[in-house]
Amino acid sequence: MHAILQQILDGALSASWLEQLATILGVVGVWLAMRESLWNFPVGLVQVAIFGWVCYGGKLYSETLLQVFFFGALAYGWWHWQHADGAEAKPLAVQRLTRREVVAWTAGTLALWGAWGTGMARWTDAALPYWDGFVFAASVASQWLQARKALENWIGWIVANTVAIGVFWAKEFYWFSVLYFLFWLMAWGGLRAWRRSAKGAHV
């Protein structure tokens, strides 16, 4: 245990200021999303730009391209949360997927994982192509569901973050590994908060 804690400390001290800044902004952005605040979008846009740059330097190409997707999805989500109810200008309510939609999203995510991981393994020098590819596929699905304000996005984040913790630890990005552990905890909090919000909207 002492060796593990020392490894984390050494990694934290040697981390770049960009890695540290991305970690802080990531926590702030997820906390704002849990509270259904529109500010999660501008904070998220800055965070994913920095995060992508650091991942590119570590040859985590799936993670790098994932941040490009996140940037577009965050921009869309920012617009959608404000305009989904049209002229009524009411806050967008939390949505829930049907069973058929859950099956479709799960199958689509697994298909994307297989195709993406295989492509990264064959045509790039990506580190951990299949593990990183899983994080990519699960995160794409979760981010899009979050942009649509679907409750199930938090379940997707719990799964994606579990794998991401190990990916970043293996690449010795200890700040990011700790960040994704915090994301994992916050995803559980977000799931509970959005469940309460969904129940309140149907009272």
Residues 155-165 pLDDT 10s: 999 999 999 99
User: Which tokens belong to 51?
Assistant: 């995060």
Distance CA 74, CA 69 (A): 8
Q: Give, to the nearest 10 degrees, the angle between helix 99-123 and helix 129-147.
A: 140
| CA distance linking residue 128 with residue 131, whole number of Å | 6
Buried b / exposed e across 62-72, counting CB within 10 Å, b at 16+?
Answer: bbbbbbebbbe
pTM (2 d.p.): 0.78
The per-residue pLDDT for 9 is: 47
